[in-house]
Structure 1
Amino acid sequence: MKNSLMKVKKVIEIEVPDLGKRIKKAREASARSLTDLCAAAGMTTANWYRIESEDTKSLPIETLRKIEEVLGVNFGVQFDD
C-alpha cells in the first residue's frame, strides 16, 4: 500500500494598528537608504512603500520579520496559539 502525505495549513491573521506608520518611522530613523534596506530585505521599494502606506490587505509574517531584521527593531507582533 502506498504511503501518502497530506499537508494541513493553518492561517492566523491579526490586526496591528498603525504598523505601516511605525515601519516608516523606524525607516526614517535609520541611517540606511531605502534602497539598501529593500535590497537587504529582498523586496522592491514599491512594495515597501505599499506596506508603509498600509495599501496592502495583509503582510506575511516572514516579510515583517525581514523588515524588523534590516531595521534592527521589533514591532512586538506576536501570535497567541
Structure 2
Amino acid sequence: MKVKRSIEKYAPGLGAKIRQARKSDKRSVETLCGLAEVSRVYWYDIENENIRDALPEETLRRIEKVLGVDLGVNFEEAIAS
C-alpha cells in the first residue's frame, strides 16, 4: 500500500499491521473509526490494502494515535533513498 505525503512511500504489509493492532485493542471498530475520523468501510479498505489512491499521511497518523502504535512508516528514509 502507498502512503501519501508530499512524496509517496510504499509500506507493504501496513494493512495487516493495522488489523493486528485493531484486534489487540479492546474497543469496537465503530469506536476506533469514530476516533480516527474514517468510515468503517474505509478502515476495512485500508486493512485490506484496497484503496484507490495512496493513504494520506494525516489519516495514517490518526490511526496510529487511536491505536497507540507506531506503524513504522518513516518518510525521512524515503527522502534519503
TM-score greater than 0.5 by the shorter chain:
yes
The alignment-based identity, stated in percent, is 46
1:79 alignment counterpart: 75
Rg larger in structure: 1
Between structures 1 and 2, the one with greater strand share: 2
Q: CA deviation at 1:76?
A: 1.4
Q: How does 1:58-73 map to 2 (within 5 A)?
A: 58-73=54-69
For the aligned residue pairs, the C-alpha RMSD in angstroms reads 1.2
Structure 2: segments with no counterpart, 5+ residues: none
TM-score by length of 2: 0.84
Paired with 2:24 and 2:65, the residues of 1 have a C-alpha distance of 15
Aligned length: 72
Paired with 1:21 and 1:76, the residues of 2 have a C-alpha distance of 13
Structure 1: segments with no counterpart, 5+ residues: 1-9
2:50 alignment counterpart: 55
TM-score by length of 1: 0.84
Given candidates 17, 22, 25, the residue that maps to 2:20 is 25
